[in-house]
């Protein structure tokens, strides 16, 4: 009786999953692991920004191409975030996403074949202050 009940519980999700047609869903966005980037103002570390980058594939096959290159993308993005300032000129507590996007796209295009990614997006950036020395 217990085996019959367990069989019914585990069979329901399997049957429901088989009914979904995945061919019409289109490409799925690939969210890269969050990167911790320094926010430097006048050669002084002011804050850290937690930046999560989302890549939207141009085609469904692009998802696998992007996922295969995630470690390389993380590396070039981290290097670019540390190479030059990411801070808005008029607001030192904000990340300049508009200026950062083309820099990251240029680095991404060094790793992925052209046309693999349709859009590079940012999830909301979290800014964390540097703790004062005790």
Residue ranges of domains in the chain, CATH in brackets: 22-129 (3.30.479)
- Phi-psi region at 114: left, alpha or beta (left = phi > 0; alpha = psi -120 to 50): beta
The most distant pair of C-alpha atoms in the chain lies apart, rounded to whole Å, by 72
Neighbouring C-beta atoms of residue 37, cutoff 10 Å = 21
49's enclosing H/E stretch is strand 44-51
**What is the CB-side half-sphere exposure of residue 103 using CA atoms within 13 A?**
16
Q: Which pLDDT band holds residue 6 (cuts at 50, 70, 90)?
A: very low
| Whole-prediction pTM | 0.76
DSSP 8: H
Q: Does the pLDDT value for residue 12 go beyond 90?
A: no
71's enclosing H/E stretch is helix 70-83
36 and 82 Cβ atoms separated by less than 8 Å: no
What tens digit of pLDDT does each residue of 40-91 get? Answer: 998 899 999 999 999 999 999 899 999 999 999 999 999 999 999 999 999 9
Q: Which pLDDT band holds residue 133 (cuts at 50, 70, 90)?
A: low
Q: Which has more confidence, 84 or 131?
A: 84
What does the mean pLDDT of the chain come to? 85
């Amino acid at each position: 009786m217990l085996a019959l009940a367990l069989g019914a519980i585990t069979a329901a999700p399997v049957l429901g999953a088989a009914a979904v047609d995945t061919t019409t869903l289109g490409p799925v966005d690939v969210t890269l692991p969050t990167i911790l980037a320094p926010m430097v103002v006048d050669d002084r570390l002011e804050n850290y920004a937690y930046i999560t980058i989302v890549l939207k594939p141009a085609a469904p096959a692009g998802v696998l191409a992007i996922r295969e290159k995630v470690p390389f993308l993380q590396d070039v993005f981290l290097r670019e975030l540390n190479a030059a300032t990411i801070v808005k000129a008029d607001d030192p507590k904000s990340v300049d996403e508009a200026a950062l996007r083309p820099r990251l796209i240029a680095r991404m295009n060094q790793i992925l074949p052209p046309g693999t990614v349709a859009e590079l997006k940012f999830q909301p950036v979290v800014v964390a202050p540097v703790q004062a020395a005790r």
